[in-house]
Amino acid sequence: MPDEHRDNPLDDRMDGRDESPAERADRNWSEVLQELRVLQTGTQILTGFLLALAFQPAFAEVTGAQRDFYLALIVLAALSSIVALAPVALHRVVFRQGVKPAVVRYGHVALITALGTVSVLIVGVVAFVFDVVVGGSAFWWAFVLLAAAIVALWLVVPGIIRVRARSTERGR
């Protein structure tokens, strides 16, 4: 199978499914929605946590730099939610317009983008808490270790699996 089909989220010809392009688009849209639900739940929890922090008595003791970092995290949380909800908004606007494949492609890109913003948000929130609670180098330890975990589990491991799958397919 030519490699140009491999990165197309709508092209599942390699998996042997016998489905029409419309059925494939419907199935892929369902998969995107499921992934968005998982992502949105985690983002909502983080956003709620961040919003509640500002109303805690101890928040008055954060430094100016910590307050600025906190506000950046709030904006990032809002941006993550907006990006994760964008495919749903698009779907509503173009409902029954016969553009489901385009909606799926858009959803795929939005989901990847949202995963990127959420990864930065997760690392930032935990590093912020470590900075406020422990201080010193704890911020950097939390930042580096969590960033490394995300890179390993969200990029390296899937990359290895993808390369192995391509090697296996070529060996057939």
Q: Do the beta carbons of residue 36 and residue 91 sit within 8 Å?
A: no
Each residue's pLDDT tens digit, 111-125 = 999 999 999 999 999
Q: What is the mean pLDDT of residues 50-77?
A: 92
Q: Do the beta carbons of residue 109 and residue 87 sit within 8 Å?
A: no
Say whether pLDDT at 6 is over 50. Answer: no
Say whether pLDDT at 4 is over 50. Answer: no
Q: What is the mean pLDDT of residues 95-114?
A: 89
pLDDT in the model for residue 157: 96
pLDDT in the model for residue 9: 53
Average pLDDT of every residue of the chain:
87
Q: Provide the percentage of residues in the chain whose pLDDT is more than 70.
A: 90
Residue owning tokens 């609670």 = 133
- The domain locations on the chain are 17-170
Each residue's pLDDT tens digit, 22-55 = 888 888 888 888 888 888 888 888 899 899 988 9
The answer to pTM > 0.75 is yes
Report the b/e string of 5-17 with b at 16+ CB within 10 A: eeeebbeeeeeee
